[in-house]
Structure 1
């Protein structure tokens, strides 16, 4: 596989690799939300949440729509929801090993 494709896939997967971004994705599984709603739900600060939303948008995982003065964010597609659900299923199988992993190559 071409190096450029692997690099692009790595960027895409990076969207899932941060705790805050993963929390945002989980929050958006059910319905769209504004930055303010995400800040309240995640007990975060607006600047930090906005930066992570920008990353998720750049990775193609979420989209936003403007309505008046608010931007509503949602997962880009049902496949992203399915991917998050699949991560949960795989984690059920490997969670103990991941928890014990001493290798921190990230």
Structure 2
């Protein structure tokens, strides 16, 4: 079934899973983690050094992706190696790149979420 088949009955309840999926991918750090995982397993320690972020920050983002079922962990000794659970996720990201190219990245002009949105007072409050 497609999303459009659900919309007439109860749009909010039915679209919640789709909104949650896109929300999980809405953070640039989580996108960077997903893109890194596309090339193979990685430990949080490796992501920390590659992304230049604190271990707690990376762990939180990995936990979010795990909670959404997009990432899984495999213990090996004292380390946990993370990988993508669904290769279809890369298809979604590839389709996103095609859409962005087709629109000339017009979404960056969006007043709510675009590149200049962080300069608006309401967005600054939310991101603090």
- Give the TM bin, normalised by the shorter chain: 0.7 to 0.9
Match of 1:32 in 2: 41
- Comparing 82-91 with 39-48, which one deviates more in the overlay? 82-91
Find the aligned partners of 1:41 and 1:70 in 2 and give their Cα distance.
17
Match of 1:61 in 2: 70
Match of 2:85 in 1: 76
Match of 1:16 in 2: 25
Structure 1 residues 43 and 96: alpha-carbon distance in aligned structure 2, compared to 1, 3 A threshold: same
The Cα of 1:95 is off from its aligned counterpart by 4.0
Q: CA RMSD in A?
A: 1.8
Find the aligned partners of 1:23 and 1:80 in 2 and give their Cα distance.
13
The Cα of 1:26 is off from its aligned counterpart by 0.9
Unaligned runs of 5+ in 2: 1-5, 118-122, 124-128
Q: Could you say which structure has the larger radius of gyration?
A: 2
Find the aligned partners of 1:45 and 1:100 in 2 and give their Cα distance.
30
Unaligned runs of 5+ in 1: none
SS in structure 2 opposite 1:73? strand
